Amino acid sequence: MRKKKKINSVITLCLFFSLLLFFNFFHSSSLHANNRAIINLPTISNINNFEWNTTWGSSGDDRGNGIVLDDSGNIYITGNNYADGLLLKYNSSGSLLWNKRGGDSSSDVGNGIALDASGNVFITGYTWSYGAASSDVSLIKYDSFGNLLWYRTWGGSDDDEGQGIVVDGSGNIFITGYTWSYGEGYNAAFLLKYDSAGKFQWNKIWGLYPEEKGFGIALDGLGNIFITGYTRSSEVAASRDVSLSKYDSSGNLQWYTTWGGSDKDEGRGIAVDGSGNIFITGYTWSHGTDIYTLKYNFFLLKYNSSGNLLWDITWDGSDDDYGQGIAVDTWGYVYITGSTQSYREDNYDIFLLKYDSSGNLLLDKTWGGSRNDHGNGIALDSSGNAFITGYTYSYGAGYTDLVLLKHELDTDNDGLSDNSEVNTYFTDSNNSDTDGDGLSDGWEVYYGLNPTWSSDASFDGDSDGLTNHEEYQYDTDPTNFDTDGDGLSDGDEVINYHTDPTNSDTDGDRYSDGQEIQMGTDPLSSLSNLSITLTIIIVIVLSVGVASLVLISKYRKKVRKKKEIEFENRFPMIDYMSRDKRSWFGIKLTQRQSINLFFLALVGTMILAFLAFEHYFYSFLIMIPGFDYYVRDYNYDSDYYISKFLIMSLYYIFILILLIISIYSLIRSSRIAKSYSESKPTKNSESWFGIILTQRQSTELFKFALVGTFVLSIIAYYTILFPLSNADINSTIPMLNALLPYWFFIIISLIICIYSLIKSRGIAKIVRLVKPISENKAHPVIPPTPKIPDYTIQTKILKDEKRVYELNDSLFVYCPYCGTKMPKTLNIKFCIVCGKNIENDLNF
């Protein structure tokens, strides 16, 4: 029996160590795969910096949502300053000219902004001010100096929001958004028309149950109106599909079309070029090369003026990517901004993409800091310079600050603006390689080379064995001998070892290429590493071990069943293993069942308490301004949060019910344990957190605490030490804060396990020190069972009129390990069922 337990313990430990090695391998492989996914995206070069950026904000929540430029290059931005609507005006150099805030103590937000031919500013959004019992669509007109000219609202008894706005050549104003008031019990999309004096003209409302929303709006040269958003109408979409509507200037629907798949797809921004082609951006869950990684992908759609889809593009990054704002310049180039998490793990950056009219990517840039940064709106000036607004957690004075970025025109896409090429570097703004040496002008400027001298392409400034031209081809640093810092020169990696000079661990086995060369393993094969080979060997051994365990378990069950049958045949009047039954929710439990219930309830209580703590903790953080950084900041709309709240409420109720059941079970089974501890077969019982444990429970608790301590130590390493060892200085503090609740739970659980290990050690030691009769420590042989003499039998009749016989309790003893009931007259030294030495534990 002891040998079998030792074998089981060894196999169990091997299993945990193999799981640890597997976790190491797959964790490193997943990191390596993520790195490759990022590398396969259009490369974001360090030379692609924005010309300037500026932030505006207070200590609260400040965001930029819409942006527009006038003919003089002045920039107007709308958004919100915490609970107030916001309008800012900057000059073309990024200097703030004035700001206006509107609204009372209620919530007011500006979403869309437009200008008329006279330079007047029109803003739409929603307001809870002015006596509204719910949100109403707002329309505000300012002059170019920030003076309020008039204010209009539209809506009913429920929530209504304006999202996009345009103004035609006659000064007519068109607004789109969504309304609950006129949606017959659900959100419906709308189109409103006002004249230049703010007089309401007409409205159009469309959409079927359960939902349709409008977000982006644009005009073509003929005055036709195009609206994008999404529909969840049951006749069109199974989940959410991008919607595109065309109306004439009188509000007559021309056509309607959708795009999407089996999951969530939303259109956010829309623009029309000079030929009447429509471009839409947004985000999709349905499309992409890998739709099973639970992430959003950015998309770009192109339709002709008749509503026919010409092409679509999805940007399949390694994580979430959202398209928000879109604009088209006079040459037909498409500019898009939004938020991406594909370039920096756990944080969003603002991105800027440029496509030609055929869908070819010409430019991609990101901007951001150590926290989340989001792009919402984009506008272009007459020179092709792009201006982006959004909000940043990384920079500024407060919680979130409004941000404004400028990117100058770069005709040849070499990373240098046309202005800097002409006036600073004296290169050709229409030629990305002025000197014709095979190196882009921007790359040469960034690394300190001369973009007008072709001979420097053949130099090897860092003496790594690669010329500057070769360094450009392999995307390495021409001023750094070892770009990836793995101990191998860039030249050795390319020429001799054929490894990736920009990746310190080419095969992803968590050993650098330089370390593998020193150890004599193959840096191109993760299987050459000793730990991986050892893992494979352990897996093979474990496979045989698990199969052996299954066979041994079946054999032991068979032998045990045979012994039980023999015992019942010898002692037919003994109710085997059913002494002192207790009730649990009306169910009678044996001693063994109560012991199992105790540990099941213990584990269940810990797990459910963790789930409840985690979800409630994060839900509480979301409600505190400044703390929602610690949760992922998705661009979901308000109705999503409502549905999420309802779903999570049901989930909380479910967890709470299970938690109550587990705690009740823990208390109930502890009382059963206490009743056993007060009986003679439960000698050497002890208290654990005030709960009396039997000898068996203490032994099982020792094993549970041993395994729990081991597992939690591994988890603590991978959630505390490993992330910190791989984090840079800037991300260490945010990472500490983000992982705080997990660490708190892990440390508390670890303390409980260690305490349990120490507390149960004494009884476990007593159990181990029980000496067998045999001197050679061989498994004791169970002596033959003598015949049972006649005894006086007490009888009673049950309700079902079946006669059950029970021997007088005083004539029997109970095994303290398995609870088996045996006659005292046998002079028993070993349990006839479990075989354990019970001589020292029984009082005859």
As averages over each run of 10 residues, the pLDDT of the chain (844 residues) reads 51 52 43 31 43 86 93 94 88 94 75 96 88 81 95 88 95 95 83 96 89 94 95 70 94 94 87 96 73 70 96 82 94 94 80 93 86 93 92 82 90 82 88 91 90 91 92 92 90 90 81 81 68 60 74 76 64 41 60 65 68 54 41 39 54 67 66 49 54 64 70 66 50 53 69 70 45 39 45 36 40 73 67 73 52
DSSP one-letter string for 752-793 = HHHHHHHHHHHHHHHHHTPPPS-TT-PPPPPPPPPPPPP-PP
Give CA–CA dist 790/195, Å, rounded.
Answer: 110
Rg (CA), the chain: 37
Give CA–CA dist 94/525, Å, rounded.
Answer: 52
Q: Residue 303: what pLDDT? A: 97
Tokens found for residue 417: 């603006």
Q: Residue 345: what pLDDT? A: 63
- Can you point out the beta strands (E) in 232-296? 241-247, 253-259, 265-272, 278-284
Say if CB 122 and CB 173 are below 8 A apart: yes
Collect all residues with Cβ–Cβ distance below 8 Å to 831 and sequence separation of at least 6: 815, 817, 818, 820, 822, 838
Helix (H) or strand (E) holding 645: helix 638-677
- Distances, alpha carbon 594 to alpha carbons 490, 578, 586, 686, 696, in Å: 66, 11, 13, 17, 11
**Sheet (strand 225-231) strand order:** 212-219, 225-231, 241-247, 253-259
Domains of the chain (ranges, CATH numbers):
62-414 (2.120.10.30), 431-499 (no CATH), 572-768 (no CATH), 794-841 (no CATH)
Say if CB 316 and CB 290 are below 8 A apart: yes
Give CA–CA dist 217/175, Å, rounded.
Answer: 8
Longest dimension (CA), the chain: 117
Q: Please tell me whether the peptide bond between 210 and the residue prior to it is cis, using omega within 30 degrees of 0.
A: yes
Q: Residue 302: what pLDDT? A: 97
* DSSP structure class, residue 739: T
Say if CB 508 and CB 537 are below 8 A apart: no
DSSP H stretches of helix in 301-426: 418-420
| Reported pTM | 0.57
Give CA–CA dist 249/253, Å, rounded.
Answer: 10
CA 816 to chain centre: 49
**Sheet (strand 309-315) strand order:** 265-272, 278-284, 297-303, 309-315
Give CA–CA dist 137/156, Å, rounded.
Answer: 10
- Distances, alpha carbon 662 to alpha carbons 77, 483, 607, 655, 753, in Å: 55, 55, 10, 10, 18
* DSSP structure class, residue 133: S
Beta bridge partners of 169: none
Q: Residue 615: what pLDDT? A: 53
Collect all residues with Cβ–Cβ distance below 8 Å to 335 and sequence separation of at least 6: 326, 327, 328, 329, 352, 353, 354, 378, 380, 386
Collect all residues with Cβ–Cβ distance below 8 Å to 564 and sequence separation of at least 6: 576, 833
Tokens found for residue 308: 């026919």
